[in-house]
Amino acid sequence: MLFGAPQYLVSGLTVGATYGLTALGFTMIYNTTGIINFAQGEFVMLGGMLSVVLLKAGLPLPLAILAAVLCSALAGCLMERAVIRPVGRSAPVNLVIITIGVSILVRGVVMLVWGKDTFALPAFTGAKPLRILEASVQPQSLWVLAITLLVLGALKLFFSRTIHGKAMLACACERKAAALMGISVERMAMFSFGMSGFLGAVGGAILTPITLTSYDVGVMLGLKGFAACILGGLGNPFGAAAGGLILGVLESFGAGFISSAYKDAFAFIVLLLLLFVKPTGLFGGPKSDRV
Amino acid sequence: MMLRILGLVAAAVLWAAQGFAADPIKIGAVVSVSGPASFLGEPEKNTLEMVKEEINAKGGILGRPVELVLYDDESDVNKAVLAAEKLLKKDGVCAVVGATTSGSTLAIMNKFPAAKVPLVSMSAAEKIVNPVNPWVFKVAPSDRHAAGRILKHAKAQGYKNIAILSVSDGFGQAGREVLKELVPAQGFTLVADEVFGPKDTDMTAQLTKIADAKPDAIICWGTNPGPAVVARNRAQLGMKTPLYMSHGVASKKFIELAGESAEGLMLPAGHLIVAAQLPDSQPQKALLMAYTAGYQERFKSPVSTFGGHGWDSLQLLAKAIETAKSDKPEAIRDALEQVTAFPGIGGVFSFTPTDHNGLDENAFEMVIIQGGDWKILQ
């Protein structure tokens, strides 16, 4: 019965990394603006779709991915400048609704321009599986895990060592005080949208070789990423990444050992149970004063 | 170009002249030209119009031109019902083609016995013709035929234990029902029955569980992109168990998505995609080649089985009107039931009072994917 366990773990970690990267994007924006950006899944979709489109247009794979990621980061900045900033002072719930609108708009535009088909991207370094501890591992899975860890490390450094990172944290804590200290709150907000576009797109680009992409993959990814965020504790980047991995592994084990028909349910049941016991999430602080 | 326009104008004038000479035969159609099912409905509409023009260019049926009253149901069941009402009550058509999706056909089909007008459906669900409704016919082959074809092949290979892996949408559930019934009924043992979501991106958990049950073959039932992920995951896990796919992936898109991992997969597919490889004696071959050439020339896009359903429904109706020598709905219905060995795109049709689908397992050909293309499996 335990035969499949190593395989379930590997599959779960790979899928979980997707959720984790999406969750990181949520955290990024939440930390500086207090908004939950429901267009986060669309950034992930853009990363994958733009990579495919640019690759088809003749760019080599690394360049296509780089361009796709930069375009998505730009799209993030543009989103903040065009639709969030003009209504900056309104209640967070209005802003959240705007992000939902943006997600529907982006999905619609992508569907009209590139169609409803599903697309694939070649794996970075071949598709021949490696055998590790009775489990088959795609080289692409290793890429995904490595890049996720790298991104996490870079974020850690960014927030603790750079002036911009600290400024973003300051905006999150107290907008007015940060503004009085000479930090441009608006620029930090735009920066955080750009960064979350970047993070989402990186996730989309490195995962597409495994998961395929289409105009509507962002919906489910956004939902799972949000769940991962809550699971790990809203506002904590490391919690978000860990939450994603845990969610992926839970799903995989649930499908393997219990029943694949209820795969999506397991993760959400665990999430709900956890929130009853510890409403701040697994890695959330003891109190949450952000209202 | 000029010549072509002149030709068209001449044809239009001729057609109009005929129109004055005789009342047109009015045939209705309910097709999902837009909306989520448009990838099915668009080739259907294109083909219906192409067939209508071909018939009229040849002088129509019984010397009368065909008029097609086509409504777009926008992939919406309610709009399909309204369109059917309009066709039956206002337009006074003698027969109706449609609908595109099973849901819409099931919603409109009960109106037809009351109106005493025949309906030829282009959708797949077996419930449309089983139990038989005297006024409802269907040209799309049933899941049962596809599943039967796979199991026949599996039996010939000497497989005993079968695992099934189906998608949890309407298509997959219908296939799963049929497989759960046929697999034990034909003497196989069903060793695993797994399911995946239509949007799932990783099926390794299900495949690992299936591998644990040690089946001789796996049957995967779904439409893109799920089965492509299954194919990729199977290769990734290094599984050698033979994998059958359903007819739901019989398009080039599947090979593109699954890439190298599609190699060696087997599936039942309509004759259309392997037309060129058929022996010349095959009754459908000439027709399939002509349809493919005509469609690609005119619409600049590849043919699909769905467009074929449009061809079959309208040509079958034309044939029935010709045999009946009348466009009275009752006469068309009776004549449809008498159609035997009629070569169409989807298969060779033989309707009987108890069989309103008129197809059997031979509507499908077992094909294997080799070198990124389909090959007929002997």
At residue B191, the pLDDT reads 95
Checking if the pLDDT of B7 tops 90, the result is: no
Residues A134-188: pLDDT tens digits?
778 888 888 888 998 898 889 889 888 898 888 888 887 777 888 888 888 888 8
In chain B, % helix, strand, coil (3-state, to 5) comes to 50, 20, 30
Selected residue of A260, A263, A268 to mutate for chain B interface (largest B Cβ count, 10 A): A260
Rg of chain A (C-alpha set): 19
- In chain B, which ranges are E strands? 25-31, 66-72, 95-98, 119-121, 136-138, 161-167, 189-196, 217-221, 243-245, 266-270, 342-343, 348-349, 364-370, 373-376
- Contact in structure between A210 and A14 (CB atoms under 8 Å): yes
At residue B98, the pLDDT reads 84
- Give the 3-state secondary structure of A181-203: CCCCHHHHHHHHHHHHHHHHHHH
In terms of pLDDT, which residue wins out, A219 or B218?
A: B218
Closest among A32, A37, A19, A27 to A235, alpha carbons compared: A27
Q: How far is B311 from chain A (nearest CA, A)?
A: 25
* Distance of alpha carbon B68 from alpha carbon B241, whole angstroms: 49
Q: Assign B361 a pLDDT band (cuts: 50, 70, 90).
A: confident
Closest among B321, B355, B338 to B93, alpha carbons compared: B321
What is the mean pLDDT of the segment spanning B181-190? 94
Structure tokens, B256: 């593109």
Rg of chain B (C-alpha set): 22
Selected residue of B164, B193, B196, B209 to mutate for chain A interface (largest A Cβ count, 10 A): B209
Residues within 8 A of A (CB atoms), B 168-197 only? 168, 194-197
* Distance of alpha carbon B345 from alpha carbon B288, whole angstroms: 6
At residue B19, the pLDDT reads 47
Tell me if A118 and B260 make a contact (CB, 8 A cut-off).
Answer: no
Match 């600049």 to its residue by tokens: B300
Residues A244-287: pLDDT tens digits?
999 999 988 888 888 777 777 877 888 888 888 887 777 766 55
Q: How far is A170 from chain B (nearest CA, A)?
A: 38
Burial grade of A272 (CB within 10 A; 0-12, 13-18, 19 or more): exposed
- Which of B16-30, B136-150, B295-309, B342-356 has the lowest average pLDDT? B16-30
At residue B40, the pLDDT reads 86
At residue B340, the pLDDT reads 92
Selected residue of B204, B239, B252 to mutate for chain A interface (largest A Cβ count, 10 A): B204
Residue B352 is given by DSSP the state B
Residue B259 burial (CB count, 10 A):
18
* Distance of alpha carbon A48 from alpha carbon A208, whole angstroms: 6
Say what the pTM is: 0.80
- Contact in structure between A200 and A46 (CB atoms under 8 Å): yes
At residue A286, the pLDDT reads 56
Checking if the pLDDT of A226 tops 50, the result is: yes
Helix (H, G, I), strand (E, B) or coil at A159: helix
Of the candidates B202, B229, B232, the beta carbon closest to that of A14 is on B202
- The share of chain B scoring above pLDDT 70, in percent, equals 94
Q: Assign A291 a pLDDT band (cuts: 50, 70, 90).
A: very low
Long-range contacts of the stretch B17-24 (C-beta < 8 A, 24+) = B18/B56, B18/B59, B18/B60, B18/B63, B18/B64, B18/B65, B19/B65, B21/B63, B22/B60, B22/B63, B22/B64, B22/B65, B23/B64, B24/B60, B24/B64, B24/B65, B24/B66, B24/B67
Amino acid, res. B13: V
- Contact in structure between B250 and B267 (CB atoms under 8 Å): yes
Which residues have a Cβ under 8 Å from the Cβ of A106 and sit 6 or more positions away? A39, A42, A45, A46, A75, A218
Match 């449309």 to its residue by tokens: B128
Torsion (CA) B322, B117, B137, B100 in degrees, nearest 10: 110
Q: How far is B249 from chain A (nearest CA, A)?
A: 13
In terms of pLDDT, which residue wins out, A89 or B279?
A: B279
Q: Note whether A261 contacts B: Cβ–Cβ < 8 A.
A: yes
* Distance of alpha carbon B162 from alpha carbon B184, whole angstroms: 9
**What is the average pLDDT value for chain A, to the nearest integer?**
86
Q: How far is A148 from chain B (nearest CA, A)?
A: 18
Structure tokens, B154: 């599996």
Structure tokens, A155: 């974020």
Q: Note whether B59 contacts A: Cβ–Cβ < 8 A.
A: no
Structure tokens, A53: 């489109």
What is the mean pLDDT of the segment spanning B88-96? 94
Residues A38-89: pLDDT tens digits?
999 999 999 999 999 999 999 999 999 999 999 999 999 999 999 988 887 7
Of the candidates A136, A212, A255, the beta carbon closest to that of B225 is on A212
* Distance of alpha carbon A261 from alpha carbon B206, whole angstroms: 10
Tell me if B205 and A4 make a contact (CB, 8 A cut-off).
Answer: yes
Burial grade of B68 (CB within 10 A; 0-12, 13-18, 19 or more): buried
Helix (H, G, I), strand (E, B) or coil at A13: helix
What is the mean pLDDT of the segment spanning B324-353? 93
Question: How high is the ipTM of this complex?
Answer: 0.77
Q: Note whether A186 contacts B: Cβ–Cβ < 8 A.
A: no
Helix (H, G, I), strand (E, B) or coil at B220: strand
What is the mean pLDDT of the segment spanning A123-134? 79
Checking if the pLDDT of B185 tops 60, the result is: yes
- Contact in structure between A185 and A178 (CB atoms under 8 Å): yes
* Distance of alpha carbon B292 from alpha carbon B43, whole angstroms: 12
Tell me if A129 and B201 make a contact (CB, 8 A cut-off).
Answer: no
Q: Note whether A255 contacts B: Cβ–Cβ < 8 A.
A: yes
* Dihedral sign, Cα of residue A251, residue A256, residue A258, residue A262: positive
Which of A225-239, A265-279, B285-299 has maximum average pLDDT? B285-299
- In chain A, which ranges are E strands? 130-132, 135-137
**What is the average pLDDT value for chain B, to the nearest integer?**
89
